[in-house]
Structure 1
Amino acid sequence: MSSNLLVELFVEELPPKALKKLGESFLQTIVDTLQSQGLVTDGAQTTVFATPRRLAAHITNVSAKAADKQIAQKLMPATVGLDASGNATPALVKKLQALGLDGSAVSQLRKEHDGKADILFLDVTQAGATLAEGLQKAIDEALAKLPIPKVMTYQINDGWESVNFVRPAHGLVALHGSEVVPVSVLGLQAQKTTQGHRFEAKSSIIHITSADTYTNQLREEGAVIASFAERRAEIVKQLNAAAAKEHLTPIEDDALLDEVTALVELPNILLGQFEHEYLEVPQECLILTMKANQKYFPLLDANQKLTNKFLIVSNINPADPSKVIGGNERVVRPRLADAKFFFDQDRKKTLESRVVGLEKVVYHNKLGSQGERNARVVAIAKAIAEQINPTLTAKVELAARLSKVDLLTDMVGEFPELQGIMGRYYAQHEGLDNDVAFAIEDHYKPRFAGDELPRNLVGLVVALADKLETLVGLFSIGEKPTGDKDPFALRRQALGIIRMLIDTTLPL
């Protein structure tokens, strides 16, 4: 008899950045293990559920017991198991006894030549695994194979035994149709009850009727959207609707979207705002601090310029959201104030005055400081410029010399992702030529496959010089990439050079 199977592990809040992979791994290992035991029939449909407080899997057409199967038990060479008269030797008798058989089983043996000698085989019927046996093995393997970099040790309810898992587990549901499958894990016995949303659930305990009512009961009684994909789609829908009311668009960021999906069980989008004075800070800084630190979605106008409004993905839906909105606005304000402070402080020193500071920054213990590396990049860039367009040599030399100094600024120290970008802003603030300013930002490009190339020839030359210096320097000290490791991204640097040479018309 086959029915649909539901397995849910109810836990404390899981790591949000890992939740999606944890859910997928949990489902896949359970399915694979059950299939290997013949408990999942052909055409079974699988569904993964993952919320901050649960990992669950739904599998259709799961058998209560796997079919029995015939197997050939290899015993021993015939010359060892049978004497000259064809009678069982003591070795064969002992082997049969170990299998729970007596001497009468000798007549059931058959010989089969394996290319070297005759081998004795015993055809036996192996009883199929029960679902309880198979699921116990599947759950144990699923937890053991979860992609968790670190686990924690905690005591289970008996107060004596300790177990290891990513977060403390508090409940286990295992239903085959409407029947509980008697399995256990992490000190928990399978049952039919789980918990819903921490604040919005209609009741603290939800009694799951059957495997097929799980999602509806969680949604209606527990105020939880169990499916990661459905919850993500709901967030996108609400984000777009809230932004449209303001005639704005939310910033697109799949990684952030996945992360907030892993932080809420019933999303509710709220609109917040901050003072206009913070818009004096480069929008990349504000966007990064709102996304990285607060998990907000900044709103852009029709010209893709940042506005002073942002969207909050909340996990609660109060009748009066003003306190939730006010709390988030109060929290983000110091973050933006820090960004403004860094920006103001950094502009008090010129980029040129910071160049000497690169001598104190170690690049590689075998290749010297960033200052020494900077000098090599300048020399390479000048040599390339003199061959391509000598009139650009002065700009190229200046851009190369200033290309790394924003690493010493407070803003880049706080947000390393802004290296190059802040160098361009500070160069423009000082009134440097736009070719130089854009080259400071663009010399990191292309950073990945499909990334745009430097927007001018000065940037292209500095980018080539920077990547050539990296490749030659690191290869010269034996830091070559291997089949599975490339810590200095040398392949990416080489591909960047190739792409710049192919996609541009440099007179080399």
Structure 2
Amino acid sequence: MKDLLFEIGTEELPAGFLVPAMEQLASLFRTKAEKLKLVFAGLRTYGTPRRLALVVEQLTERQEDSREELLGPSKQAAFDDQGKPTRAAEGFARSKGVTVDQLSLVATPKGEYLKLVRQVAGVATETVLPELLKEILVELSFAKSMKWGSNQLTFARPIQWLLTRFGDDTVVFEHEGIVSSNLSRGHRFLAPDTFTVATAADYERALEERFVIADVERRRQRVLDEIKAAVAVAGFGDGAEVAVDQGLLDTVTNLVECPFGVCGRFAEKFLQIPAEVLITSMREHQKYFPVIDRQGSLLPGFVAVNNTRVRQIEVTRTGHERVLRARLEDAFFFFESDKKIRLAERLEALSGIIFQARLGSMRDKVDRIVKLTRLLADMLEPTVAEDACRAALLCKADLTSNMVGEFPSLQGVMGSAYGAHDGEADSVAVAIAEHYLPLRAGSPLPTTATGALVGLADRIDTIAGCFGIGQTPTGTTDPFGLRRLALAVLHIIEHYRYGLPLSDLLYKALALYGDKVAGGAATVEQIMTFIKGRFVNDCAARGLDARAVDAASSVAFDDVNDCLQRIEALIAIKRQESFEVLAGSFKRIRNIIKDHQELEVDRSLLTEPAEQELYTVYQRLHAAGEQRLPRRDYSGFLEEMLALKEPVDRFFDDVMVMAEDEAVRNNRLNLLTGIGTLILAIGDISRMHGGL
């Protein structure tokens, strides 16, 4: 067993490319090794801006021997009438390097066929590694690749060197004029010379001696240590600390090979700008970490992470401060100039921003959002209706501001700040920001009903409009993020426990577009199917029982929270042994009644004791349903329905449902249909049969 090391040296790779590429390295090797029957103990990957590396621990020095079975032509094609081999048989044998005598006949579902069985001896690992590693290199894919110079194959950045070690030996292969060797390179500035790597075990240590921390997790921790240390000596006091954004930390980690932190300052006047603006300017444009106090308030400081040791730290600090100052001066100017125009005065400018070419402008969208918000508020939250409608009117006004033009990610945040400056009610200002929440799955939801209502109206308008013009998501495209919007709608409705008839709302949303969209039942059904699909996927992601979700959502989905309550009741009841039998009986009932709709039962036609007993139980359950179902006591109703188990079993044992007498037959079908209707009030439990 030997360790294998494979390093691809490049020009600086984008930070977002490293982790996916490292995952590919491991996945590609694992797949190819399994195919080649190469056994190994473990895999490790490394990545820095200038290198991607794979270490395979205890890789076997020889392939495993294998038994190969190759199917040839059929017996009919392989032998003529005299039993002599045909050209097909001889050709198959020749192509495999054997004679026809070495072939055998084997029976298959399609008849007898010639087959070759042979033992294949494994070859030395070092003979297959060159091609294996070259295939991995060629098959690595990136979000964006190019051909560099005269090269014919694409890669994220130009490849500069290839390092391979299998034990003490180099695995030699050539790629686009670069021949693999035992040489690597250290930090571009601090240790730029090439150096020899003896074995895979020496790799990480040798790089660290040359100012390269190859392990991503160790480098991330070093970044954290550096930025904390930089703040500690910056003079902000004991309460100062770094505001660590995990996304920024990941990015910075993959921008450097050896991090060195420097803490800088900016003028306190910039703290007049909303904190989100300062943070966005530092994070998105400069990749700086903000400095905060114990209460989480911003301090006039930041931490930059350099990829090289700083000799004159004051010069470096001044350089970072100068760059950031220019950014913040722009932001300060935008903020002050934007405040001179009230949000309400910006509404008409929205006519110049296109929402969607066939659906009109953002001004048109705002009008629809206001109407939908009024509808939702009157239905769900009447006490906040006026504030919600005001927030809906102003929710997109900041799109015309200079600040959002410079920082698009701050839409809503700036609207809220400008609304507060204009003297809008606090609930209105908060809702302007919160109507964009949640930004993604798992992120925070609106904290106020006002923000939730505007957010629902905005998303429902977009979903309805896009489906109304046929702009629906496909397997590869979703330009308006409709999947994300649908999930946000579901989560807001669930969080606020809104009893909201979705289909009615969609009809009204489509109607607001007039003749711009197809607003009929077919469109509503298509949207409901789409939203239900997101609901089912979301339930699966939460770990809810898939059969219970299917049973409940298949009978009714219009009210999301009602559907969730029925799912919870079904999950609870399925643990009882008698439920499995009841689910099987209901499946049998569904198969018998099919499309039968009549429910009226004539008691005088019930002549068999078993059907009389079943009718008595049905009447009791019908009465219980009238009490429990309106108050959504689904668990209690399901508990009572378990009483059907034995009467239903006796009914099917003792009673011929499809009697010759048509009146008797229909009466029995009516009874079973009535029982089925009661069960379907909660879910189609036949879908849960056999799934316990």
Among 391, 412, 420, the residue aligned to 2:404: 412
Distance 2:276 2:474 in 1: 35
Is the 2:260–2:310 Cα contact (8 Å) retained in structure 1?
no
Distance 1:300 1:355 in 2: 36
Is the 1:7–1:172 Cα contact (8 Å) retained in structure 2?
yes
- 1:89-128 equivalent positions in 2, closer than 5 A: 89-101=86-98, 105-128=99-122
Query: Partner of 1:316 in structure 2?
Result: 308
Distance 1:263 1:93, change over 3 A: same
Query: Partner of 1:56 in structure 2?
Result: 53
What whole-Å deviation, never above 9, does each CA across 1:388-407 have from its counterpart, x for those lacking one? 56564443332211111000
Query: Partner of 2:175 in structure 1?
Result: 185
Q: CA deviation at 1:192?
A: 0.6
Query: Partner of 1:303 in structure 2?
Result: 295
Q: CA deviation at 1:429?
A: 1.1
The answer to whether residue 237 in structure 2 is matched with residue 237 in structure 1 is no
The answer to whether residue 440 in structure 2 is matched with residue 451 in structure 1 is no
TM-score, L = length of structure 2: 0.68
Q: CA deviation at 1:430?
A: 1.5
Distance 1:118 1:239, change over 3 A: same
SS in 1 for 2:148: strand
Query: Partner of 1:135 in structure 2?
Result: 129
Among 178, 193, 197, the residue aligned to 1:208: 197
Higher relative contact order (CA 8 A, sep 6+): 1
Is the 1:169–1:186 Cα contact (8 Å) retained in structure 2?
no
- 1:152-301 equivalent positions in 2, closer than 5 A: 152-155=146-149, 162-201=152-191, 204-220=193-209, 222-245=210-233, 246=236, 247-301=239-293
- 1:320-469 equivalent positions in 2, closer than 5 A: 320-387=312-379, 392-469=384-461
Amino acid at match of 1:98: S
Amino acid at match of 1:67: E
Amino acid at match of 2:207: L
Distance 2:404 2:269 in 1: 21
SS in 2 for 1:180: coil
Distance 1:503 1:337 in 2: 41
Is the helix fraction higher in 1 or 2?
2
Is the 2:24–2:140 Cα contact (8 Å) retained in structure 1?
yes
What whole-Å deviation, never above 9, does each CA across 1:2-46 have from its counterpart, x for those lacking one? 2010001111111211111112212321232123201233xx111
Distance 1:477 1:107 in 2: 68
Amino acid at match of 1:184: E
Query: Partner of 1:489 in structure 2?
Result: 481
What whole-Å deviation, never above 9, does each CA across 1:170-215 have from its counterpart, x for those lacking one? 21111111111122223221211111001112x6111001121111
Is the 1:3–1:177 Cα contact (8 Å) retained in structure 2?
yes
Distance 2:164 2:499 in 1: 69
Distance 2:468 2:96 in 1: 64
Q: CA deviation at 1:505?
A: 6.1
Amino acid at match of 2:118: V
Distance 1:199 1:490 in 2: 47
Distance 1:300 1:94, change over 3 A: same
The sequence identity of aligned pairs, in percent, is: 34
Is the 2:65–2:120 Cα contact (8 Å) retained in structure 1?
yes
Query: Partner of 1:67 in structure 2?
Result: 64
Is the 1:74–1:121 Cα contact (8 Å) retained in structure 2?
yes
Amino acid at match of 2:143: P
Structure 2: segments with no counterpart, 5+ residues: 501-692
SS in 2 for 1:455: coil
Q: CA deviation at 1:493?
A: 3.0
Distance 1:98 1:469, change over 3 A: closer
Query: Partner of 1:47 in structure 2?
Result: 44
Query: Partner of 1:150 in structure 2?
Result: 144
Is the strand fraction higher in 1 or 2?
1
Query: Partner of 1:35 in structure 2?
Result: 34
SS in 2 for 1:148: coil
Query: Partner of 2:12 in structure 1?
Result: 13
SS in 2 for 1:59: strand
TM-score, L = length of structure 1: 0.91
Distance 1:450 1:79, change over 3 A: closer
Distance 1:117 1:264, change over 3 A: same
Distance 1:211 1:35 in 2: 21
Is the 2:38–2:62 Cα contact (8 Å) retained in structure 1?
yes
Is the 1:30–1:135 Cα contact (8 Å) retained in structure 2?
no
Q: CA deviation at 1:112?
A: 1.2
What whole-Å deviation, never above 9, does each CA across 1:80-132 have from its counterpart, x for those lacking one? 3344555433443344333344xxx3332222122333222223333424434
Is the 1:256–1:291 Cα contact (8 Å) retained in structure 2?
yes
Q: CA deviation at 1:358?
A: 1.0
Structure showing greater radius of gyration is 2
SS in 2 for 1:179: coil
Query: Partner of 2:74 in structure 1?
Result: 77
Most deviating of 265-274 and 31-40: 31-40
Distance 1:392 1:120 in 2: 80
Distance 1:122 1:91 in 2: 14
Is the 1:33–1:137 Cα contact (8 Å) retained in structure 2?
no
Distance 1:155 1:212 in 2: 35
Is the 2:354–2:361 Cα contact (8 Å) retained in structure 1?
yes
Amino acid at match of 1:312: A
Is the 1:355–1:402 Cα contact (8 Å) retained in structure 2?
yes
SS in 2 for 1:113: strand
Amino acid at match of 2:2: S
Distance 2:117 2:380 in 1: 80
Is the 2:130–2:171 Cα contact (8 Å) retained in structure 1?
no
Distance 1:426 1:116 in 2: 76
SS in 1 for 2:7: strand
> What is the Cα-based RMSD across aligned positions, in Å?
2.3
SS in 1 for 2:143: coil
How many pairs are equivalent? Answer: 496
Is the 2:73–2:88 Cα contact (8 Å) retained in structure 1?
no
Distance 1:369 1:98, change over 3 A: same
What whole-Å deviation, never above 9, does each CA across 1:406-458 have from its counterpart, x for those lacking one? 00001111111111110111111112211111111112223333433333333
SS in 1 for 2:222: helix
Distance 1:128 1:20 in 2: 34
Amino acid at match of 1:206: F
Is the 1:12–1:168 Cα contact (8 Å) retained in structure 2?
yes
